[in-house]
């Protein structure tokens, strides 16, 4: 883990509100597990706390983040130019564990793709990719994993399956052989809840990357907790014990 200065080498709009940020950290970030994240300083003095972002990619010393503009920090970040210097702290948290299975299903909703991408890249053909979004426009986010033939659902039916990604996954599970498989998921809380209900009958193994507001990212402040089924210690830190949790252990 390092806290290092980093230079923005590219900050480009991919489609709609989605951006891809490439950074060159002054120090190497070491070994990274898919699902881990960084705390990024938003350049300038407007935003006080750092913001957490999944590691979308890390290759040849270049760190890539995919982000969606949702508020003040991401808005300012989207307006930050090339060559700007900032700081990144990472890699942080516990990523996905790839256990030996017959099949791996990765599931992302919208910007959730940012949390799954590095895993998909490392699993390559071994992964089936399920991506849910609003309309065909967002399929632009899948460009560099297009060779893996992601299965896409759109809410408006303009591309792929019409409906949400959890329904699409459910159909897939019902129509394919019941082999030893594991699901890796990243998306909004509503989607995780939905998924949990929909696979409840078979209790398929599932690791979920969850999000929460963070201050430190290091386990220092206890601000980012998620409620779990552990009766003695229900609140676990997303940044330290997570951000990847066993779906069956968290309360949604």
Ligand X SMILES: Cc1cc2nc3c(=O)[nH]c(=O)nc-3n(C[C@H](O)[C@H](O)[C@H](O)COP(=O)(O)OP(=O)(O)OC[C@H]3O[C@@H](n4cnc5c(N)ncnc54)[C@H](O)[C@@H]3O)c2cc1C
Which among 127, 248, 249 is positioned nearest to 199, based on CA atoms?
A: 248
Residues 162-221 that bind other proteins (CB under 8 A): 212-216, 218-221
Residue 234 Cβ vs other proteins, minimum distance, rounded to whole Å: 6
49 binds other proteins (CB under 8 A): yes
3 binds ligand FES (CB under 6 A): no
76 binds other proteins (CB under 8 A): no
Residue 237, C-beta contacts closer than 8 angstroms, at least 6 positions apart: 219, 222, 224, 225
Return d(Cα 63, Cα 172) in angstroms, integer: 34
With contacts defined by CB under 6 A, name the span among 64-72, 163-171, 191-199, 218-226 that binds ligand FES: 218-226
Tally Cβ neighbours within 10 Å of residue 108: 28
3 binds other proteins (CB under 8 A): yes
Q: Which is nearer to ligand FMN, 163 or 219 (CB)?
A: 219
Q: Which is nearer to ligand FES, 196 or 236 (CB)?
A: 236
74 binds ligand X (CB under 6 A): yes
Among 195, 216, 244, 250, binds ligand FES (CB under 6 A): 216
Residue 177, C-beta contacts closer than 8 angstroms, at least 6 positions apart: none
221 binds ligand FMN (CB under 6 A): yes
Residues 18-57 that bind ligand X (CB under 6 A): 37, 51-54
Residue 22 Cβ vs ligand FES, minimum distance, rounded to whole Å: 25
With contacts defined by CB under 8 A, name the span among 114-122, 135-143, 174-182, 222-230 that binds other proteins: 222-230
Among 213, 220, 221, 229, binds ligand X (CB under 6 A): 213
Q: Which long-range contacts (CB under 8 A, 24 or more apart) does 221-226 make?
A: 226/250, 226/251
Pairing of strands 85-92, 2-15: antiparallel
227 binds other proteins (CB under 8 A): yes
Q: Residues of 7-28 as b/e, b for ≥16 C-beta within 10 angstroms?
A: ebeebeeeeeebbbbbbebeee
Q: Which is nearer to ligand X, 5 or 75 (CB)?
A: 75
- CA 89 from centre of chain: 17
Residue 46 Cβ vs ligand X, minimum distance, rounded to whole Å: 10
Which among 135, 141, 90, 136 is positioned nearest to 111, based on CA atoms?
A: 141
Cross-strand partners of 131: 108, 152
Return d(Cα 192, Cα 210) in angstroms, integer: 9
With contacts defined by CB under 6 A, name the span among 70-78, 136-144, 146-154, 163-171 that binds ligand X: 70-78
Q: Which stretches of the chain bind ligand X, using CB under 6 A? A: 37, 51-54, 65-68, 70-74, 111, 114-115, 211-214, 238, 243
């Amino acid at each position: 883990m390092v806290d290092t200065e980093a230079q923005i080498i590219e900050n480009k709009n991919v489609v709609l509100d989605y951006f891809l940020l490439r950074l060159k950290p002054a120090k190497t970030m070491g070994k990274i597990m898919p699902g881990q994240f960084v705390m990024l300083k938003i350049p300038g003095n407007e935003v006080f706390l750092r913001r957490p972002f999944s590691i979308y990619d890390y290759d040849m010393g270049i760190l890539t983040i995919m982000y969606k503009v949702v508020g003040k920090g991401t808005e300012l970040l989207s307006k930050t130019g090339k060559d700007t210097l900032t700081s990144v702290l990472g890699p942080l948290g516990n990523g996905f564990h790839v256990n030996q299975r017959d099949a791996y299903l990765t599931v992302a909703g919208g910007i959730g793709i940012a949390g799954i991408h590095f895993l998909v890249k490392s699993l390559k053909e071994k992964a089936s990719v399920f991506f849910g979004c609003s309309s065909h426009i967002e399929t632009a986010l899948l460009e560099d994993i297009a060779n893996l033939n992601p299965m896409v659902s759109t809410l408006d039916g303009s591309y792929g399956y019409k409906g949400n990604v959890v329904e699409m996954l459910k159909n897939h599970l019902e129509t394919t052989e019941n082999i030893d498989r594991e699901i890796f998921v990243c998306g909004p809380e509503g989607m995780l809840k939905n998924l949990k209900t929909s696979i409840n009958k078979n209790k398929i193994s599932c690791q979920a990357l969850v999000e929460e507001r963070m201050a430190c990212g290091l386990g220092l402040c206890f601000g980012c907790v998620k409620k779990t089924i552990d009766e003695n210690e229900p609140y676990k830190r997303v940044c330290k014990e997570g951000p990847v949790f066993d779906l069956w252990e968290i309360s949604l």
